[in-house]
Amino acid sequence: MRIDILTILPRLLEGPFADSIMKRALDKDCVEIHIHDIREYSTDKHKKVDDYAFGGGAGMVMTIQPIADLIEKLKAEREYDEVIYLTPDGEKLEQRMCNQLSLGTNLMMLCGHYKGVDQRVRDMYITREISIGDYVLSGGELAAAVLTDAIVRLIPGVLGDETSALSDSFQDQLLAPPVYTRPAEYNGRKVPEILMGGNLKAIDEWRHEQSVRRTQERRPDLLDHPEK
C-alpha cells in the first residue's frame, strides 16, 4: 500500500511514523508513506497557502491553487482508491472503515488547517471525508496519523501475530476482554483461574462473555447498532 499525505506542516508527521509498528511496517516495505508539503506547490512568491474568507468572518481559509496542483500531479502518476479529507464534519472513523481502507492500494489524505480548505477542493477532488471524533484539532495532521496507524496495522505482515488485529476492540462490535500476564498473583490479586487451565474452548467462551459484559457496561450503543 502507498499513502500520500498532503500537509502544510510536514514535520508534525515525522514522529508518529518513526517508531513501533509504523516503523516496522515501513522497514518491511508493507507500506510506503509519502508526506508532501503543500507550500512547495504555491505559486505565490511568499509561498502563501491561505487567504481571507469571502463574506468575512474570523479565520483564514486554505487556498485552492497549491492543493489542486499537488492533487493533480499525484493523480497523474497513479490511481487512488480514496482521496480523503480529514475534517471535524466528516464521517466518524470506525473500525469497519479501517478494515475497508486497509484493502486498498493507494490512498491520499489531505490535512486541513485554519478554517479548512476552499470548498471547491472538497467538491472537485475529495472522495471521502473522515473525522476521528467530535472535537476540533489545530489541523488534520494528527488525525491523518491516527487514520494511517489504524489502517496500516491491519496490512498482512505488519503485526507479528497475524490474528492479533482480529481480536481488537470493535472488530466484532464488542470491546476487547480483560487481559493478564505474569505474575499470576500480585498484591493479592490473582489471574482468573480459567485462564490458567489450558482449556482453549472454555477460555474463548470466557473471553466472549467478558467482551459482551464490558461492552454492555461501557459502550451499549455498539450492541444497539450492529456493524453494517
Domains of the chain and any CATH numbers: 2-152 (3.40.1280.10), 169-224 (1.10.1270.20)
Q: What pLDDT is attached to residue 43?
A: 96
Report how far apart, in Å, the C-alpha atoms of 155 and of each of 21, 71, 166 are: 11, 25, 12
pLDDT tens digits for range 103-131: 999 999 999 999 999 999 999 999 999 99
CA dist., res. 138 & res. 90, Å (int): 16
To which residue does cell 497549491 refer?
A: 66
| ω into 10 cis (within 30 of 0) | no
Mean pLDDT of the residues in the chain: 93
Task: Say whether pLDDT at 224 is over 90.
Answer: no
Tell me the torsion sign for CA atoms 157, 32, 15, 23.
positive
Please state the rounded mean pLDDT for residues 180-206.
96
What is the H or E stretch that residue 95 is in? helix 95-101
Q: What is the dihedral of CA 38, 119, 151, 217, to 10 degrees?
A: 140
Q: Helices (H), strands (E): how many in the chain?
A: 7, 9
Q: What pLDDT is attached to residue 172?
A: 77
Identify the three-state secondary structure at position 57. coil
Q: What pLDDT is attached to residue 227?
A: 54
Q: Return the amino acid letter for 149.
A: D
**Predicted model pTM:** 0.89
pLDDT tens digits for range 150-165: 999 999 999 976 556 6
| Band of residue 204 on the pLDDT scale cut at 50, 70, 90 | very high
Task: Say whether pLDDT at 93 is over 90.
Answer: yes
Closest CA to 62 of 79, 81, 87, 80: 87
Report how far apart, in Å, the C-alpha atoms of 31 and of each of 79, 104, 215 are: 16, 11, 33
Q: What is the DSSP string of 20-36?
A: HHHHHHHHTTS-EEEEE
Please state the rounded mean pLDDT for residues 63-85.
98
Task: Say whether pLDDT at 194 is over 70.
Answer: yes
Q: What pLDDT is attached to residue 167?
A: 56
By CB atoms closer than 10 A (0-12, 13-18, 19+), residue 6 is: buried
The 10 Å CB-count burial string (b at 16+, else e) for 33-49 is bebbbbbebbeeeeeeb
Task: Say whether pLDDT at 228 is over 60.
Answer: no
Percent of the chain surpassing pLDDT 90: 89
Task: State how beta strands 106-111 and 82-92 pair.
Answer: parallel
CA dist., res. 218 & res. 166, Å (int): 20
